[in-house]
Amino acid sequence: MEESSDIDRLLGDQREPRLSRSCSLTDLPATLIWLDRTLAVFPIPGGHRSLGWLHLLRAHVLRQLDDADGSMISAAAAQTVFSQLGEQRGLAAVQKDRPRVDVELERYSLRIAVPTMRPPSAAGVHVSLLGGFSVVVNGRAVEDRWRLRKAKMLVKLLALAPGHRLHRDSVVDRL
């Protein structure tokens, strides 16, 4: 994509006002000032400011992490900043770029959502073990009415097991 190569080139430019390593993306005012300043110096072709913000956030976080798992962190950071942008700058302006932003999120595999940020309708099985046991299936919390105590125990055991699987002998030994 022409715009992304432009952005990548700009990010390699030493003149780019980089967000300092100690600046937290959760410090929204500082992040917005940095984004605005950067985009004022390097305008995004086509004027897609949200897309520009996304590129800059991604590049900033991934540059620090240099790790595939960075996509998860940058997804969390990008989601936080985008939801705040919606409140501060008017949702309509951000929503205008939403389809393009979604394409970019997909492209950079940034769709690894953080459980607390998942919409309640998210498909799949979500097992929580931190702070207590709970299961959500396709957005619905499973009632804690396990007819067999060992069934609940087996779900916990498999959730903690590497690859979420165990040999039956190992299960029989532990239950």
Partner 1 sequence: MAANNLHQIVHTIRRMLGTESITLTDDVVWLCPAGGLTVDVDVFERAAAAARSSGDITTLQLALQLWTGPLLPEDQYADWADRASGATRRNPCRCRKLCSAPSS
63 or 107, CB closer to partner 1? 63
Find the shortest distance in angstroms from Cβ 78 to partner 1: 11
CB of 30 to partner 1, least distance (A): 11
Taking the complex as a whole, how short is the minimal distance between the CB of residue 166 and partner 1, in angstroms? 5
Contact residues for partner 1, defined by CB under 8 A: 21-26, 61, 64-67, 69-70, 72-73, 76-77, 114-116, 123-133, 135, 137, 142, 146-148, 150-151, 153-161, 164-169, 171-172, 174-175
- Taking CB atoms within 8 Å and a gap of at least 24, the contacts of 17-24 are 17/41, 18/60, 19/60, 21/64
Backbone phi, psi, residue 136, to 5°? -120, 125
Cβ 130 to partner 1 shortest distance, Å: 5
Place of tokens 């393009």: 100
C-alpha–C-alpha distance, residues 30 and 23, integer Å: 8
Considering Cα of 101, then 104, then 106, then 112, what sign does the dihedral take?
A: negative
Quick one: 27 or 102, whose CB is closer to partner 1? 27
- 59 token code pair: 């590049």
